[in-house]
Chain A
Amino acid sequence: MHCFAKLAYRLRHARALLLWSSTLTVVLLVIGLVWGLFFSPADYQQGEMVRILYIHAPAAWMGLFSYIVMAVASAVSLMGKYPLANLVAKASSPVGAVFTIICLVTGALWGKPMWGAYWVWDARLTSMLILFFLYLGHIALVNAFDDYGRGARAGAILAVIGFINIPIIKFSVDWWNTLHQPASITRVALPAMAMEMLLPLLVMGLAFTAYYVTLLLVRIRSEIAAVQVRASRCSLRSIGKRL
């Protein structure tokens, strides 16, 4: 309990970061949305449908990134007693789940006019769907136990095992013949898209990252408050018994 009190004290200093990240989220989202919807050019093949990319691709990146954060935090918590690691993992999973479902739904809306179907059992789509189920499983597991520690441990094991899905998602377009196109932005090659499209995409990517940081801070504070509420209730009950 003492470590949670220390964490709560430290997180009060994170309020400045929260203010900055939330402001950055709003500013970047407005710029990215207006740019992507009204000022970026239509694609020569996809036409206006390319605009869905400005929501779909950042949501996919952040769906993967949230899982990486959750899996690393889970691995750290399994290696030792780091209360913050458990809280980071628990706070990250609902945010990652929302990013992943946004990616899946916007992908389906893009797929209908482009591929002629909302859904195909393609390797990339299927592995993203598995990622969504992993998030749901993690959320259910950490909340399934009365004992906070046992729930966190069970969720951590699932998150670490489920990490195998991350390279499968990343390389699915290279390992199998898929309908989904390969990555347009890689570290080793120049981006396969025009700068007029790349810039709004990067702005939206930054906006989603700032949103993730903001929500992670809010949810960690919320989880610490929940732990403190539980501890206060226990202490009140014990005082009540003594009276």
Chain B
Amino acid sequence: MGGYAPFIWSSYGIGIGGLLVLAVLSVRTLWARERELRLLGTRQKENSIDLQQHLY
């Protein structure tokens, strides 16, 4: 690469690495939030059943 290989490869590494890191972090955050939402949904259902038993 005409003596410029360190500059060129670092540019591509930083560029693609940056995009990859953001993509992985975004997908992991989405999965974690969806998992938490499912858990909360289950607990909410259980609690509403408890509440109904208390009320009636």
Say yes or no: A55-B33 contact (C-beta < 8 A), given A232-B40, A239-B51.
no
Give the A-B contact count at a CB cut-off of 8 A: 101
- The CA-CA distance from A42 to B18 in the complex, in Å, is 25
Say yes or no: A102-B14 contact (C-beta < 8 A), given A218-B26, A239-B47.
yes
Check if B11 sits within 8 Å of A47, measured CB to CB.
Answer: no
Chain B residues within 8 Å of A218, by CB: 23, 26-27, 30
Check if A110 sits within 8 Å of B11, measured CB to CB.
Answer: yes
Check if B47 sits within 8 Å of A222, measured CB to CB.
Answer: no
Q: What range describes how many residues of B lie at the interface?
A: 20 to 34
- The CA-CA distance from A240 to B50 in the complex, in Å, is 10
Chain A residues within 8 Å of B41, by CB: 232
Check if B15 sits within 8 Å of A243, measured CB to CB.
Answer: no
Chain A residues within 8 Å of B56, by CB: none
Say yes or no: A222-B33 contact (C-beta < 8 A), given A95-B22, A102-B15, A110-B7.
yes
Say yes or no: A243-B4 contact (C-beta < 8 A), given A56-B11, A59-B15, A106-B15.
no
Interface segment out of the listed A136-144, A159-167, A169-177, A223-231: A223-231
Q: Does A101 contact B (CB under 8 A)?
A: yes
Check if A242 sits within 8 Å of B51, measured CB to CB.
Answer: yes
Q: Which residues in chain A, 98-155, are within 8 Å of chain B measured between CB atoms?
A: 98, 101-102, 105-106, 109-110, 112-113
**Beyond A49-B8, A113-B4: 12 further Cβ-contacts under 8 Å?**
A49-B7, A52-B8, A94-B22, A98-B19, A102-B14, A102-B18, A102-B19, A109-B10, A214-B23, A225-B36, A236-B43, A239-B51
Binding site for A on B (CB under 8 A): 1-2, 4, 7-8, 10-12, 14-16, 18-19, 22-23, 26-27, 29-30, 33-34, 36-37, 40-41, 43-44, 47-48, 50-51, 54
